[in-house]
Amino acid sequence: MEVPLTRTMAAALCTGLAATLLATATGPARSEPRQPDTWTVAEAAHAPRARIALDDTTGSLSLTVSRAGRTVIAPSPVGIVTQQADFSQGLRFLHRKDRTVEERYRAKSGKRLDRRVRMNETRLSFATVAGARLDLVVRAAADGIAYRYVLPAGYGDVLGESSAFNLPADADAWLSTYRVDNEGQFNQYTAATAPTGEYSDQALFATDGGYTLLAESDLTGSYSGARLAHTQGTGSYRVKLADSQVHTDGPLATPWRAMITGDLATVTGSTFTDDLAPASKVADTSWIRPGTVLWTWLAGGRTAGQSLDAQKAYVDYAAAHHWPYEAVDSGWYFKKDEWDVTDPDWQTDSWMPELVDYARAKGVGIIVWIHQRDLDTPEERAQWLPTLERWGVKGVKIDFMNSEAQSMFQWYDTILAETAAHHLMVDFHGATLPKGIQRTWPQVMSMEAVGGEEKRTNTATHLTTLPFTRNVIGSMDFTPGGFQRVGLRPDSDAAEVGLTVAYESGLQMFAGTPESYDARPLARDFMDQEPAAWDDTRLLAGSPGQEAVLARRSGDRWFLGGVYAGAARTATVPLTIGPGRWLVETIRDGADGLVQDRQVLRGGDELSVDVVANGGFAAIACRWHPGVTTCYR
């Protein structure tokens, strides 16, 4: 039967004939391969996995983090906007480059001295319609995922990021309201119920099957500090920069946006933010020596700081207990309206050289407090830093930066190089968070950036959250040991001893008075044993806001510190510090003060300790064999 040729059929026939003729003329037709629009990065099959996706419609990027098949961070926007280019949309993929980052380095402080790094890195290159280029660099390790933006020169200042982290709405969240000194308390919410506002970028979330701590690394004066902006009712936390415009005058690599993820022990023991940071810029680190410190501010305040005789007495106490350092806080040096620093002989009016000589003869080094405003110009730094080095001062506690603007990070870049040149260890107060700084500049022994012992509003909940938040990302100068502050601190005496271990700091500053130590000889004798540098760190038990028990090893001994929030209990702690028999000497709260217990346990056994309300404990464990009666030396 003949079928009538319709107009539609005729058009199709013509189209097919044309295609046949074209194929005959040019050879077999080739279909263009579809460019990939998703990429994955992981260090190993069981490790966290990053998935980067490019939306075909909008040209925008997103990043998802998963672990063991479970979503940790839901698809979250990735992008950056400059004066000349918008890299938050309209992108097309160019190419991918992969490499493995393997490093070994030795730290001067932190959770462990010897570090080994293995990360897989993927660099994805994109372009806008106008041809502007952006590289997104993603790194994956066993304990985290991180990304940064890399831009060539010529795109102008940065106006902001579209970077954000999308968490499940019902994920438990431990957040600290943002402050420029990073001294806010941590409170627990869910990701969605947290009030609208800005939070510190050290935010902890209980994600599916584990925990995730948001952080930042490798922040310098080329960029601006970040915080997290949140709107109640959502699980989204957006990166907001301290500056509305970040000045750039060349190629730019932004700081790493880091997600430390795993079980709670993995997160607590992580050195991921240090591992992401550049290698040490200090060639000779032999002069950098961590140690415990008698800190005099809460022991006597400004009056003690202005008295040479009082400081000599503190030096005597530190020497008697073999504490390597004594810190002289505010009040020891001139007021600007009293001394003329343009006079070349102004230093002769200070009693500090006499104190340093006195302390040196007794084997004690001196750390001095100084206000940032007295180091904020080249002229002031040229007066102070060489002078302190010449006197023999071992370190400086620099206070009141109170800014995360780009200009302040440019000052950090300068002061870090200059303190290293003058062999001065550094403890920053009123400061930013560590952000990997202790790897690149190992003379930074500690940083405050915490609601510490000085605060009168701390809670036991806050104290039990810090090991899982602030102290994860670097040494923390909480200044524990303020026994005399009864009624001003929320914890018991045994918990206060435990904090000296639970909280890591390269300069562990004890905040008590000699009288308060002597009234608690068990606490004092325990603190006499403590180092401030550790060969290993392990979480033995913990739940943010409820309990934290950490074990830190120095040589062949383990030091244990536990702190609890809530009602009295008998705490049980797995002694996972190695096989064999261990002598464990524990300090706890008794009816009439601190008491000490001794027992021999096998590795893996449970250590039972009676803990009072909002209490804690401290312990030393050493290998036991017949004849060993104490771990103390």
**Tens digit of each residue's pLDDT (9 = 90 or more) over 227-248:** 999 999 999 999 999 999 999 9
Last residue of a domain, one of 276, 307, 323: 276
The owner of tokens 């601006």 is 224
HEC string of 368-399?
A: EEEEHHHCCCHHHHHHHHHHHHHHCCCEEEEE
pLDDT band at 30 (very low <50, low <70, confident <90, very high): very low
Domains in the chain, number: 2
176: CATH: 2.70.98.10
pLDDT band at 344 (very low <50, low <70, confident <90, very high): low
Residue 534 has pLDDT above 80, yes or no: yes
Q: Establish whether 114 is a catalytic residue.
A: no
pLDDT tens per residue, range 355-389: 999 999 999 999 999 999 999 999 999 999 999 99
- Other Cβ atoms less than 10 A from the Cβ of 159: the count is 15
Specify if 155 maps to a domain. Answer: yes
Residue 348 has pLDDT above 70, yes or no: no
Same structural domain, 349 and 447: yes
The rounded percent of the chain whose pLDDT value lies above 70 is 91
- Distance, in Å, from the CA atom of 520 to the CA atom of 497, rounded to the nearest integer, reads 10
Specify if 31 maps to a domain. Answer: no
Nearest residue to 616 via CA among 490, 435, 449, 491: 491
- Distance, in Å, from the CA atom of 469 to the CA atom of 464, rounded to the nearest integer, reads 10
pLDDT tens per residue, range 173-205: 999 999 999 999 999 999 999 999 999 999 999
Same structural domain, 264 and 349: no
- C-alpha 222, offset from chain centre: 20
How far is the CA of 132 from the CAs of 39, 57, 153, 156, 629, in angstroms?
21, 19, 10, 12, 70
What's this model's pTM, rounded to 2 decimal places?
A: 0.92
Q: Establish whether 610 is a catalytic residue.
A: no
Same structural domain, 338 and 223: no
Nearest residue to 256 via CA among 387, 349, 147, 348: 147
Same structural domain, 244 and 297: no
- Angle 317-321-324 (CA atoms, 0-180°, nearest 5)? 90
Domain span holding position 260: 38-276
Same structural domain, 301 and 272: no
Same structural domain, 211 and 95: yes
- Distance, in Å, from the CA atom of 322 to the CA atom of 224, rounded to the nearest integer, reads 42
The amino acid at residue 472 is V
- Distance, in Å, from the CA atom of 105 to the CA atom of 115, rounded to the nearest integer, reads 5
Same structural domain, 231 and 348: no
Catalytic residue among 208, 374, 413, 454: 454
Question: 184-193, 345-354, 386-395: lowest mean pLDDT where?
Answer: 345-354
Last residue of a domain, one of 504, 532, 560: 532
Same structural domain, 337 and 195: no
- Distance, in Å, from the CA atom of 285 to the CA atom of 431, rounded to the nearest integer, reads 23
At residue 576, the 3 state secondary structure works out as coil
Same structural domain, 341 and 204: no
Specify if 295 maps to a domain. Answer: yes
The amino acid at residue 512 is G
Average pLDDT over residues 614-626: 98
User: What residues pair up with 622 in beta bridges, in sequence order?
Assistant: 583
Last residue of a domain, one of 532, 549, 569: 532
Q: How many helices (H) and strands (E) does the chain have?
A: 13, 35
- Distance, in Å, from the CA atom of 582 to the CA atom of 588, rounded to the nearest integer, reads 18
Residue 478 has pLDDT above 90, yes or no: yes
Residue 569 has pLDDT above 50, yes or no: yes
Same structural domain, 360 and 265: no
Specify if 10 maps to a domain. Answer: no
Same structural domain, 111 and 222: yes
- Distance, in Å, from the CA atom of 433 to the CA atom of 441, rounded to the nearest integer, reads 14
Specify if 594 maps to a domain. Answer: no
Catalytic residue among 183, 216, 326, 399: 399
- C-alpha 307, offset from chain centre: 36
Specify if 261 maps to a domain. Answer: yes
DSSP 26: H
Tokens of 542: 């913990």
Classify strands 164-166 and 197-199 as parallel, antiparallel or unpaired.
unpaired
Specify if 588 maps to a domain. Answer: no
- Residue 148 class from Cβ within 10 Å (0-12 exposed, 13-18 middle, 19+ buried)? buried
Average pLDDT over residues 25-50: 71
pLDDT of residue 53: 98
Specify if 114 maps to a domain. Answer: yes
403: CATH: 3.20.20.70
Same structural domain, 298 and 222: no
